[in-house]
């Protein structure tokens, strides 16, 4: 659902850019509470994984494909604030390096693909967990539902922006019906990918799933006919700072990176070539009538359109994208984590007490 230049007029694009910048600023502050020495590198990996999976368009209807948006997955794995940052990093890399999504529409894309998906998915996720049994199956089911709803919600958000600042005269009702209809189908794919990924991480490292924290219930034993809590096992020593992927977390990080590279470098060759939901609706309804007047600012990049313009294999472009995304993302998340550590340091000059 990458919105190109020319779909939304300049005033609304600027307003969306301001809103997106505000959301990113708030998320940077919020991410300090979500990130630690283990989750900072995991967040970079999540961004790279989303980049890789977004390259894998899957067919959803005749002549239409869809791809992961990723907001729901990121929010559930690393937290809603960090999730917004993950998707924002992906969209920035795609727009700047690969001419995927307009640069003037970057604020629009961050708003609808990052902020809306994260807020909707995480709200539904937490709401369901409040009433469901405290089990891993509940976490997976809540992840599925939140991801499913987040995609048509994002499509509805695009329609709202189009209603305010669309550059073509297409009835909003027709746009809304077409966008939500096709993105419900895409949402099913999003939900399956999200639930499968969250479930896989839960199976090996449930402590690294942000959305599953605090769901453990104390083990009880029956003593003298009454149930009593089993004493908690002392927590293992914290992993030292600077060793973010120690132990099991290192194995998970390595497996995740290998999966992202495999998907982007090899499986991407087999992605559906059909237009995605927004492209199909835009072509059918005439939303893209003025898009040809706008040339992407990085259209001349060797990696534009994932290397197609320069004959670079899509797999090579994908591997470059994964590497760049994980480097930029991890750097941002480590800076956010470091600022949290700085704010937690006690003042060097403490007044003496008598």
Q: Is 223 helix (H, G, I), strand (E, B) or coil?
A: strand
Lookup: tokens for 77: 């794995």
Helices within 214-351 (DSSP H only)? 247-265, 277-285, 314-344
> Domains of the chain by range and CATH?
10-212+250-343 (1.10.1760.20)
pLDDT of residue 285: 93
Mean pLDDT of 240-260: 72
Instruction: Determine the Cα–Cα distance for residues 47 and 123; give it in Å rounded to an integer.
Output: 21
The reported pLDDT for the residue numbered 252 is 87
Res 245 pLDDT > 90 = no
Annotate 240-263 with DSSP letters as a single string. PTT-TT-HHHHHHHHHHHHHHHHH
pLDDT score recorded for residue 247 = 59
* pLDDT single digits (tens) 172-219: 999 999 999 999 999 999 999 999 999 999 988 888 899 888 665 444
Task: Give the per-residue pLDDT at 346.
Answer: 55
Bigger pLDDT: 351 or 87?
87
Q: What are phi and psi of 65, to 5 degrees?
A: -130, 175
Q: What are the DSSP E strand ranges found in the chain?
A: 58-61, 64-66, 220-223, 226-229
pTM score, whole prediction: 0.87
* pLDDT score recorded for residue 311: 84
- Return the pLDDT at 234: 44
The 3-state DSSP class for residue 156 equals helix
């Amino acid at each position: 659902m990458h919105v190109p230049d020319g779909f939304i007029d300049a005033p609304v694009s600027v307003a969306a850019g301001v809103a997106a910048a505000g959301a990113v600023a708030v998320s940077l502050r919020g991410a300090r509470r979500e990130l630690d020495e283990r989750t900072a590198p995991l967040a970079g990996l999540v961004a790279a994984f989303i980049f890789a999976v977004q390259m894998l368009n899957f067919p959803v209807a005749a002549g239409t494909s869809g791809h992961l948006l990723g907001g729901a997955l990121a929010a559930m794995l690393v937290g809603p604030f960090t999730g917004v940052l993950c998707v924002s990093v992906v969209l920035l890399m795609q727009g700047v390096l690969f001419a995927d999504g307009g640069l003037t529409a970057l604020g629009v894309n961050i708003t609808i693909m990052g902020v809306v998906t994260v807020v909707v998915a995480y709200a539904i996720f937490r709401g369901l967990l409040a009433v469901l049994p405290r089990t891993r199956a509940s976490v997976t089911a809540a992840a599925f539902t939140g991801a499913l709803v987040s995609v048509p919600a994002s499509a509805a958000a695009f329609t709202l922006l189009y209603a305010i600042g669309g550059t073509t005269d297409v009835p909003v009702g027709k746009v809304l019906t077409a966008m939500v209809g096709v993105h419900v189908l895409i949402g099913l794919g999003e939900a399956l990918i999200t639930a499968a990924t969250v479930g896989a991480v839960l199976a090996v490292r449930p402590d690294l799933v942000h959305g599953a924290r605090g769901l453990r219930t104390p083990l009880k034993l029956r003593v003298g006919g009454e149930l009593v809590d089993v004493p908690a096992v002392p927590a293992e020593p914290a992993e030292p700072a600077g060793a973010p992927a120690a132990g099991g977390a290192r194995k998970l990080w390595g497996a995740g990176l290998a999966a992202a590279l495999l998907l982007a470098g090899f499986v991407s060759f087999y992605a559906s070539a059909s237009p995605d939901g927004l492209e199909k609706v835009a072509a059918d309804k005439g939303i893209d009538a003025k898009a040809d007047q706008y040339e992407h600012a990085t259209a001349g990049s060797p990696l534009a359109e994932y290397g197609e313009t320069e004959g670079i294999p899509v797999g090579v472009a994908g591997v470059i994208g994964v590497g760049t995304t994980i480097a930029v993302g991890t750097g941002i998340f480590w800076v956010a984590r470091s600022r949290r550590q700085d704010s937690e340091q006690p003042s060097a000059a403490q007044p003496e007490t008598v």
